[in-house]
Amino acid sequence: MESELEIVKAWFSVLNDSERSEALSSIAELPCLREIEPMIQTLKERKRDLWRRQEELIIQPPNRMKWVMPVFPRNTQDPKWAAKWLRALRLHKYEKCLSGLSPAQVERLNDEDLQELGVDTVGARGKLLRAIQSG
């Protein structure tokens, strides 16, 4: 505090009378701390409110249900099991690749086998393998 006072005294000592008078009137117009504190508190509350709102605006996962992978029909006797299962997986274009195979045979397929059967995209093969393993 004392060093600040010395700085102010040194600054005032180099001013002429009119500059000193101007500086003192400017200081007199400054609000006192009691007037500033409520404004500071209001700004702090506003800042907290804005942070809360910003957090709410951050991308939230959608409320609707995401697509659920269908269960692999291991024990089915339905002759159209592959068509139904692949349609549920949205991979019905590969129906001909799995036609004539039983669920037990499909369950033993690996990536290379699927590729040889004509499932040509990596994504489709991965989806099929995940669906088989999850069921």
pLDDT tens by residue, 94-107: 999 998 899 999 99
End position of a domain, from candidates 57, 73, 94: 57
Separation in Å, CA 96 to CA 5, 28, 120? 91, 89, 13
> Does 70 map to a domain?
no
Say yes or no: 11 and 53 in one domain: yes
Q: Tens digits of per-residue pLDDT, 12-24?
A: 788 888 887 887 7
Look up the domain containing 106 and give its range.
81-134
Domain count, the chain: 2
Task: Give 97: exposed, middle or buried? Use CB within 10 Å, 0-12, 13-18, 19+.
Answer: buried
User: Could you tell me if 94 and 118 are in contact, meaning their C-beta atoms sit under 8 angstroms apart?
Assistant: yes
Say yes or no: 20 and 53 in one domain: yes
pTM: 0.51
Selected residue with higher pLDDT from 127 and 52: 127
Selected residue with higher pLDDT from 115 and 15: 115
User: Could you tell me if 23 and 15 are in contact, meaning their C-beta atoms sit under 8 angstroms apart?
Assistant: yes
Angstrom distance (rounded) from CA 43 to CA 22: 31
End position of a domain, from candidates 57, 72, 102: 57
> Does 66 map to a domain?
no
Q: Tens digits of per-residue pLDDT, 57-77?
A: 776 655 666 777 888 888 888
